[in-house]
Amino acid sequence: MTETTNEPGTGTGHRRIRQARRFVDRTETGALVTVSVMSAALLAALAGFLAVSSLTIAPFALFLITAGYGWLRHQELTARALTLAMTASTLLILGLIIVFIFQASMPVLSYESIRVFGIEVPGLRMFLETRWDAVSDPVRYSMVPMIHGTLVVTVIATVVAAPLGVAAALFLSEIAPPAVRDIVKPGVEILAGIPSIIYGFIGFTLLSPWASRQFQTTGQGTYLFVGIVVGLMALPTVVSVAEDALSSVPESMKSGSLAVGTTDWQTMTSITLPAAFSGVSAAVILGVGRAIGETMAATVMLRGVPRLTDPLINVFYGQETLTSLIARNYGEADGLQMDALFVAGTILFVTVLIISIGSQYIEWRMRKKLGGEV
């Protein structure tokens, strides 16, 4: 009795080899040579760049010349090769950034390590203690005060931007007359292009002095108004992206809902919003990402003191966030202090990564709930 085994991997490999051979047979030799030289030159330029070689310009120039020749003589294959190279370059650049910031963070993580049950845990003291002092002994680089400030500002900004942004997008998409939409939508998009330093300057010159007088705080800068300013900055992004998502819902779905006797509001809440949930959630995620990564507005408005507020829920004082810490100190930082700023950047990177994964999970759950593809 002979046992038969299925080897899908082997079959797939043979199929891909046959496809590659068929592609080579159907493609002109000149086009293959051009793309091969272009690819080899680009890889050589990348290797020279990583090695910080002064000769990097030579293979890169060869790549440009070959790409120009290929675009003139073999445009289709050259375009495919260039788009593949650009996609791979994006992933490679992202990977190099990740490696660089993690590698730059290692010295201070080693310095702030603590032994737990005989095991050395790198950087643990940065998240257990609350003292940041780069001058006085013992030097400490705690991230706890900045994480607290970032969290408070992000929560306030999200509370401002998410409901207002989604409501405004729903109004523009489903309620507003075309004339109003044609005026308001470009205005919202223009607001998204205003530099963050302008928002921060307005907050510093108008909101902070008013808050200091009204709440009788010592000095200027409160997490409450920094969060409001950052939320208003994120609002145009949320409105624009969410409105595009809501407008992309097929009109037949809305008409079918209205045809069975539902009201406009019931249609919006039971049909339009669930159908556009992935786009709306992406809009909110983009807004939260801007709130987390906002630098200049927080730097201008906050005091720049890396310590916790007392009590922790006191939003009428503002000390420091992760982004403002980097912006305020990178010019004069060196040694372990510079490495600590890279740790702050790593925390921001990991936070945004977790948010992105969470948004993908939410989208998957919503598709499953609505009976879409899983």
As a whole number of angstroms, the distance between CA 20 and CA 312 comes to 62
Packed helices 336-370 and 322-329: angle between N→C axes, nearest 10 degrees: 150
pLDDT of residue 371: 54
> In terms of pLDDT, which residue wins out, 372 or 274?
274
Q: In the structure encoding, which two tokens stand for residue 158, read together?
A: 């999200």
The tens digit of pLDDT for each residue in 86-138 reads 899 888 888 888 899 999 999 999 998 988 888 888 888 999 888 888 888 88
- pLDDT for 9 beyond 60: no
pLDDT at residue number 65: 93
> 57: pLDDT confidence band, cut at 50, 70 and 90?
very high
User: Is the distance from CB of 128 to CB of 114 less than 8 angstroms?
Assistant: yes
Cis preceding-peptide flag for 107 (omega within 30 of 0): no
Q: Which residues contact 258 (CB under 8 A, 6 or more apart)?
A: 264, 267
Cβ atoms 307, 319 nearer than 8 A: yes
Structure tokens at 328: 């305020």
Q: What pLDDT does 147 receive? A: 92
Per the document, the length of the chain is 374
Report pLDDT digits (tens) over 193-238.
788 788 888 888 888 788 777 777 766 678 888 888 888 888 888 8
pLDDT of residue 366: 65
pLDDT digits (tens, 9 = 90+) for 355-374: 777 777 776 766 666 555 44
Q: Are 35 and 81 in contact (CB under 8 A)?
A: yes
Residue-level pLDDT at 58? 92
**280 pLDDT exceeds 70?**
yes
What is the CA 293 to chain-centroid distance, rounded?
8
Looking at residue 61, its pLDDT comes to 93
Dihedral angle sign, alpha carbons of residues 250, 253, 256, 258: negative
- DSSP designation for 194: S
Across 170-174, average pLDDT: 87
Q: What percent of the chain has pLDDT over 70?
A: 92
The model's pTM = 0.78
Contact (CB, 8 A) for 320 and 223: no
Give the type of residue at 43. L
Residue with tokens 């109004």: 171
List the domains of the chain with CATH numbers: 22-105 (no CATH), 139-370 (1.10.3720.10)
Nearest to 290 by CA among 189, 169, 157, 186: 157
The predicted structure's pLDDT at residue 303? 79
Residue 68 and residue 29 in contact, taking contact as beta carbons nearer than 8 Å: no
> Is the pLDDT at 4 greater than 60, yes or no?
no
* 82 pLDDT above the threshold of 60: yes
Q: How far apart are CA 160 and CA 363, in angstroms?
A: 23
Contact 234, 290 (CB under 8 A): yes
Q: Is 2 helix (H, G, I), strand (E, B) or coil?
A: coil
pLDDT at 364: 74
Using the predicted structure, report yes or no on whether residue 3 has a pLDDT greater than 50: no
Q: Which residue has the higher pLDDT, 69 or 9?
A: 69
Among 295, 315, 329, 343, CA closest to 142: 343
Could you read off the pLDDT of 283-325 as tens digits, one per residue?
Answer: 888 788 777 777 777 788 887 788 888 888 888 877 888 888 8
Task: Please give the pLDDT value at position 40.
Answer: 92
Mean per-residue pLDDT of the chain? 83
**Residue 87 CB coordination number (10 Å):** 10
pLDDT digits (tens, 9 = 90+) for 225-272: 888 888 888 888 888 888 888 888 887 777 787 787 777 788 887 888
Q: Dig out the tokens for 147 from the structure.
A: 């994480």
pLDDT at 5: 46
